[in-house]
Chain A
């Protein structure tokens, strides 16, 4: 973790001493702090003009995202302190957001989230507006990976920020260790005849194509026609091993708990917590060496119809405090994005992902990249989504 902190000091938070961020004011830090005060005294007017400042929060945030991302308890103190009311609309999938905004219902919508794989689509549909980094001082808290502009998910190639990481998670193979004692080491286990009808798969077409392509040594963001056919056939064969595609990840969890499935493609690490809450403590998730897995990350974003933007900035800034991020990650059964938050997690949530070797983990399970919106060379997102319906009914 020390390496991460050092990396972070080279990024957005490069003027912030990690020791000071943790509340341990050492001698050298104290001296540097005194020096900074002296410099600030001489340059106070310009320094204050340039220093990041959280805007005042007030009024109503019209919010649309997954249920729970409005953090009813975790952000309660902040909401009450600022008299902010959050009016939430929950979505069944990210597709609901574009349906609402493009259908003319986006006026007054202040805050949304987007999954990392939706960046290109939302950018193409002009659903994302530029975010002023100066109004979110806590951006400096982001872990190095999330402070980077990896795959231009949060920051465009031209430096324009469109999203702020909120949480993350990863999918691999989930299995019920009560019936499968040895952790799967290959995706081949999903095709074992003895598990026919006992394999789960969620209705996540882009994730499914992304992960299937990785298993087959391909890249779903650069699929030729031949690759596309190979991946589609692989997924159709896998669909035959299932008793139907679950409409959501939650439904896969329900099937695990009910004993209807023993394994799941695109297994989510959070199933362990969901199962434990229902008295089933045996759902595990692994990322095999061959095929690995995929990660996803949800990001805060401001849609074009927002009219209480300053309060949204204040909201986002608050969520990037280590204690708040730890609380929200625990609540969402997800990964933290802020330095110092992992240490504040409870044991179950902390065990979901290896925070001591995150860089290695993201190499094994990189953030999902989707097929292009338009391309003459590669199969597009629209074709993948249309083909997914054939996969769903392939049984």
Chain B
């Protein structure tokens, strides 16, 4: 009987403990399965492709690292990788720099304009990626809005050629494309920070710059770093924008992946370049985490 009583009391407790442990796992299961199917599995397939022997639009055995040798030994890949890094850094820096004040204004100063502006930012994302790129061609082109305007004002005799088909135009278009996303991420980052914190800092004698440097920047550092990485990775790996407005100087490494898979038929090299880019991005992520840790910004949490 005692055993029965004991069992009767212990079972719900054990069950509750088990449920406490299992429930989070069950809740994360769909997301984990999604990642497994749509992220891990393709990556694994790419990894296998990258170490197989290349045929023409085919792969065969035996296992080899020659694709990595070709990817690293091609001079053009080095040039395009440097281009990708440069344009990725420029786009990420500019986007984050523009987005921070916008998000700050939206959170603390927009007042009744907050909702309409947020709506407009969200609505701008409904415009097609390609439409936005072509819009920049219309703006920056020889007969574009800027050149026509400058000519009609008599400021230039002939269209400014440096506005389009180079790194500059690629960076501008990428900043435009990613700015709405980053504004929303940073706005969400500012969201939990009560204005009372800033008021307290002000009461304690902090001027505007000190409030930014000592209060806001440490708290927004992690979301800002995330946004920076987001833009860096997507910009550096883009291959559509550079082909449309990049000219001969604005091509990025992504075009080599596309070319190897679609035209050249060297699938292992395409996969190898993909993995090398992935390794570079993981390294960027590691450096960012390390930087936040060294600056002791990685453990700061919001106080509501």
List residues of A whose CB falls within 8 A of some B CB.
93, 95-96, 98-99, 102, 124-125, 197, 203, 205, 239-240, 242-245, 247, 251, 254, 258-260, 373, 382, 385-386, 388-390, 392-395
In the bound complex, how far is the Cα of B57 from the Cα of A385, in angstroms? 13
The A interface is mostly helix, strand or loop, or mixed, namely helix
Task: Find the B residue at minimum CB distance from A374.
Answer: B56
* B258 smallest CB distance to A (angstroms): 9
In the assembled complex, B247 has its CB within 8 A of some CB on chain A: yes
> Across the interface, which residues of A come within 8 angstroms of B76, CB to CB?
389-390, 393
Task: Identify 19 new A-B residue pairs, CB closer than 8 A, beyond the known A125-B57, A382-B266, A392-B251.
Answer: A93-B262, A93-B263, A95-B262, A99-B262, A124-B56, A197-B161, A243-B161, A243-B248, A244-B165, A244-B248, A258-B143, A259-B143, A260-B143, A373-B56, A385-B259, A388-B263, A393-B79, A393-B80, A395-B247
* Nearest Cβ on chain B to A365's Cβ, whole angstroms: 24
Smallest distance from the beta carbon of B107 to chain A beta carbons, Å? 40
Say whether B263 contacts A95, CB under 8 Å. Answer: yes
- When distances are taken between beta carbons in the complex, the residues of chain B under 8 Å from A205 are 263
Q: Could you tell me if A239 and B248 are in contact, using CB atoms closer than 8 angstroms?
A: yes
> Interface residue tally of chain B, by bracket?
20 to 34
**Across the interface, do A102 and B142 meet the contact criterion of CB distance under 8 Å?**
no
A258–B137 alpha-carbon span in the complex (Å): 9
A243 touches B262 (CB 8 A): no
Q: Which residues of B contact A (CB under 8 A)?
A: 56-58, 76, 79-80, 137-138, 141-144, 161, 164-166, 243-251, 255-256, 259, 261-266
CA distance A259 to B142 in the complex (A): 7
B262: A residues at CB distance < 8 A:
93, 95-96, 99
Report how far A93 CA is from B259 CA in the complex, Å. 12
In the complex the two chains form, is B266's CB within 8 Å of A389's CB? no
Residues of chain B within 8 A (CB-CB) of A386 are 259, 264, 266
| Shortest Cβ gap from A92 to chain B (Å) | 9
Contact B165 A243, beta carbon cutoff 8 Å: yes
Instruction: List chain A residues, Cβ under 8 A from B246.
Output: 244
Which residue in chain A gives the minimum CB-CB distance to B262?
A95
Is A392 within 8 A of B56, CB to CB? no
Q: CB distance A385 to B263 under 8 Å?
A: yes
A102 partner residues in chain B, CB cutoff 8 A: 57-58
| CB closest residue in chain B, given A244 | B247
The residue that A98 contacts in the complex, of B57, B166, B250, with Cβ under 8 A, is: B57
Shortest CB distance A12–B (Å): 33
**21 pairs, CB–CB < 8 Å, chain A vs chain B:** A93-B262, A93-B263, A96-B262, A98-B265, A102-B57, A124-B56, A240-B248, A242-B247, A242-B248, A243-B165, A243-B247, A251-B244, A258-B137, A258-B141, A259-B141, A386-B259, A389-B255, A389-B259, A390-B76, A393-B80, A394-B248
- Tell me which residues across on chain B come within 8 A of A382, comparing CB atoms: 56, 264-266
Q: Are the CB atoms of A389 and B256 closer together than 8 Å? A: yes
| Chain B residues in 8 Å Cβ range of A242 | 247-248
Q: Which residues of B contact A259 (CB under 8 A)?
A: 141-143
Closest 10 CB pairs of A and B: A395-B248, A244-B247, A243-B165, A95-B262, A259-B143, A247-B243, A385-B264, A244-B165, A393-B251, A243-B247
- Asked whether A260 lies within 8 Å of B142 as measured between CB atoms, the reply is yes
Q: Whole-angstrom distance between the alpha carbons of A99 and B267 in the complex? A: 10
Q: Give Cα distance in the complex from A94 to B238, angstroms.
A: 22
A247 and B251 contact, CB distance less than 8 A? no
A258 to B244, CA, bound (A): 14
Compute how far the CA of A395 lies from the CA of B249 in the bound complex, rounded to whole angstroms. Answer: 6
- With the chains together, A373 CA to B265 CA distance in Å? 11
What residue in chain B is nearest A394 (Cβ atoms)?
B248
What chain A residues lie within 8 Å of B58 (beta carbons)?
Answer: 102
A157 to B58, CA, bound (A): 26
Contacts of B143 in A (CB 8 A): 258-260
Q: Which of B76, B143, B265 has the most CB of A within 10 A?
A: B265
Chain A residues within 8 Å of B255, by CB: 389, 392
* Cβ–Cβ contact B164 & A243, under 8 A: yes
Chain B residues with CB below 8 A from A240, complex form: 248
In contact, B248 and A392 (Cβ under 8 angstroms): yes
Measured CB to CB, the nearest residue on chain B to A251 is B244
A276 → B minimal CB distance (Å)? 18
Which residues from B are CB-within-8-Å of A393? 76, 79-80, 248-249, 251
Q: Is the CB of B250 within 8 A of A244?
A: yes
| CB-defined contacts of A203 to chain B, threshold 8 Å | 243
CB B137 to nearest CB in A, in angstroms, measures 7
Chain B residues whose C-beta falls within 8 Å of the C-beta of A243 in the assembled complex: 161, 164-166, 247-248
**Alpha-carbon distance between A395 and B79 when the two chains are bound, in angstroms:** 12
